[in-house]
Amino acid sequence: MGGESLDKKILLRLDPFLHHKLKIWAKDDIGSINAHIEFILRKEIEESRR
């Protein structure tokens, strides 16, 4: 499998305002919106114990 990622790809539609805010937040903390969304989701899953 020549370097293919096992990560799942999804299409995510976001409100433009939310996208803008996520972009700023990600830039300040992690860098990419994708990495930041994944971080937020992991944190919420851990906190909800699901």
Question: 10-15 contacts: CB < 8 A, separation 24 or more?
Answer: 12/37
Q: What's the pLDDT at 6? A: 87
Domain count, the chain: 1
Per-residue confidence of the chain (50 residues) as pLDDT tens digits? 456 678 899 999 999 999 999 999 888 877 788 888 898 999 999 999 86
Domain carrying residue 43: 16-48
**21 is a domain residue:** yes
Integer Cα distance of 39 and 45 in angstroms: 10
CA nearest 30: which of 18, 21, 39?
Answer: 39
* Whole-angstrom distance, CA of residue 26 vs CA of residue 23: 5
pLDDT of residue 3: 62
Q: Does residue 39 lie within any of the structural domains? A: yes
pLDDT of 2 reads 58
Q: Which residues of 13-39 are buried (b: 16+ CB within 10 A; e: fewer)?
A: eeeeeeeeebeeebeeeeeebeebbee
